[in-house]
């Protein structure tokens, strides 16, 4: 990928102020996403994936303390007030939320919910907005058109509701989309369908994407590059095929060997509490290859090959 950097972070850290000690959700993140690139964030539950997604969308809760910078087309998002950012949210930087249950209004017809997002950002009349919504629904393979647009969310299956969310997130043809766990809770067939549709939309609009998932098959299908997170930091980063086929970090290798097709060899132990970050390498107490200094010396993310970075001096 030789396109220009579209969005990038410099030493981004996010902490939450909670009684009894701060939660260090994201630590010193340096990532870049190019125009049209799909970067997948992989990692166990609680490692900071969604917090990073929310920081790009400037949707962090009030107890969040952000340090470092996020840039979008050279403009510093982290320095922007809500008023300056609001016109960008949804139009240039959009999201496909995790849950249809909480993101669709149960009292509004599905088509209208997509019409409204389009009308808000593209300055169109109702007729044009509906025409656009129906074209999008068709592209997403939704059946019974145009009638389906007049259904309420509860009248649709889970997979169809998820596709309505894809339509809402992409209707203004954003340059960058945060997609958080698009297949969570879907069965295998629906998952495949949603992945195919997201891939198709991405191909049509060439939007760059931050794809958050803990599902390797989703990453395999859609990602150009993969960043693996562990306890708030990136421990390996590189082109998707390199991470999937020749990972170097013991944690990445561990989660790959835990996949069903590789025999379910789960990584023993648990991720550390983000209120009490271990000294040295954050993974040392679960690592089969740990050396003495892994307990005391915190490794840097260093180059291990072309565009491939790993946070382990022994990998």
Ligand X SMILES: Nc1ncnc2c1ncn2[C@@H]1O[C@H](COP(=O)(O)OP(=O)(O)OP(=O)(O)O)[C@@H](O)[C@H]1O
Check binding of 18 to ligand X (CB under 6 A): yes
Do residues 282 and 233 lie in contact, with contact meaning Cβ atoms separated by under 8 Å? yes
How many residues in the chain?
Answer: 315
Work out how close the CB of 46 gets to Mg ion at its nearest, in angstroms, rounded to a whole number: 8
* Cβ closest to Mg ion, residue 50 vs residue 171: 50
* Rounded distance between C-alpha atoms, residue 218 and residue 191, angstroms: 9
| Cα-Cα end-to-end distance for the chain | 26
**255-274 residues near ligand X, rule: CB under 6 A:** 274
Q: Identify what 97 binds: ligand X, Mg ion, none; CB under 5 to 8 Å per kind.
A: none
**12-71 residues near Mg ion, rule: CB under 5 A:** 50
* Among 15-23, 84-92, 155-163, 261-269, the segment contacting ligand X (CB under 6 A): 15-23
Question: In the set 61, 81, 106, 260, which binds ligand X (CB under 6 A)?
Answer: 61
Check binding of 45 to ligand X (CB under 6 A): yes
* Among 46-54, 84-92, 140-148, 248-256, the segment contacting ligand X (CB under 6 A): 46-54
* Cβ closest to ligand X, residue 171 vs residue 183: 183
Check binding of 20 to ligand X (CB under 6 A): no
Q: How far is CA 215 from the centre of its chain?
A: 12
Check binding of 162 to Mg ion (CB under 5 A): no
Check binding of 48 to ligand X (CB under 6 A): yes
Do residues 107 and 42 lie in contact, with contact meaning Cβ atoms separated by under 8 Å? no
- CB atoms inside a 10 Å sphere around CB 158: 14
Question: In the set 42, 47, 104, 179, which binds ligand X (CB under 6 A)?
Answer: 47
* Rounded distance between C-alpha atoms, residue 217 and residue 277, angstroms: 30
* Rounded distance between C-alpha atoms, residue 156 and residue 219, angstroms: 27
By the 10 Å C-beta count (0-12 exposed, 13-18 middle, 19+ buried), 125 is classed as exposed
Question: In the set 46, 158, 272, 280, which binds ligand X (CB under 6 A)?
Answer: 46
* Rounded distance between C-alpha atoms, residue 73 and residue 162, angstroms: 29
Check binding of 51 to ligand X (CB under 6 A): yes
Q: Identify what 25 binds: ligand X, Mg ion, none; CB under 5 to 8 Å per kind.
A: ligand X
Work out how close the CB of 102 gets to ligand X at its nearest, in angstroms, rounded to a whole number: 14
* Cβ closest to Mg ion, residue 142 vs residue 229: 229
Q: Which CA distances in Å does 261 have to 20, 31, 111, 191, 256?
A: 42, 30, 40, 18, 9
* Cβ closest to ligand X, residue 43 vs residue 97: 43
* Cβ closest to ligand X, residue 92 vs residue 181: 181
Count, residues near Mg ion per rule CB under 5 A: 1
**205-224 residues near ligand X, rule: CB under 6 A:** 214
Q: What residues make contact with ligand X under the rule CB under 6 A?
A: 16, 18, 23, 25, 43, 45-51, 61, 63, 214, 274
Q: What residues make contact with Mg ion under the rule CB under 5 A?
A: 50
């Amino acid at each position: 990928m030789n396109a220009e950097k579209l969005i990038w972070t410099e030493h981004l850290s996010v902490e939450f102020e909670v009684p009894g000690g701060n939660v260090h959700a994201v630590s010193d993140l340096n990532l870049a996403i190019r125009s049209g690139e799909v970067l997948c964030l992989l990692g166990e539950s609680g490692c900071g994936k969604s917090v990073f997604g929310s920081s790009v969308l400037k949707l962090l809760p009030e107890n969040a303390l952000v340090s470092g910078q996020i840039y979008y087309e050279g403009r510093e998002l982290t320095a922007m007030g809500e008023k300056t950012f609001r016109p960008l949210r949804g139009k240039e930087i959009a999201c496909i939320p995790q849950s249809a249950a909480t993101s669709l209004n149960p009292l509004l017809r599905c088509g209208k919910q997509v019409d409204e997002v389009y009308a808000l950002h593209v300055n169109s009349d109702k007729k044009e907005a509906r025409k656009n919504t129906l074209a999008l629904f068709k592209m997403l393979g939704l059946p019974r058109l145009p009638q389906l647009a007049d259904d309420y969310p509860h009248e649709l299956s889970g997979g169809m509701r998820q596709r309505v969310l894809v339509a809402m997130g992409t209707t203004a043809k954003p340059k960058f989309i945060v997609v958080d766990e698009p297949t969570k809770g879907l069965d295998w067939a629906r998952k495949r369908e949603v992945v195919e549709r997201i891939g198709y939309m991405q191909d049509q609009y060439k939007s760059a994407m931050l794809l958050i998932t803990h599902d390797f098959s989703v990453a395999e299908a859609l990602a150009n590059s993969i960043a693996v997170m562990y306890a708030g930091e990136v421990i390996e980063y590189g082109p998707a095929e390199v991470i999937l086929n020749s990972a170097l970090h013991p944690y990445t290798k561990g989660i790959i060997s835990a996949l069903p097709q590789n025999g379910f060899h789960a990584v023993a132990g648990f991720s550390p509490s983000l209120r009490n970050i271990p000294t040295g390498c954050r993974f040392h107490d679960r690592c089969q290859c740990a050396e003495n200094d892994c307990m005391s010396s915190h490794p840097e993310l260093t180059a291990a090959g072309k565009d491939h970075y790993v946070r382990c001096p022994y990998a």
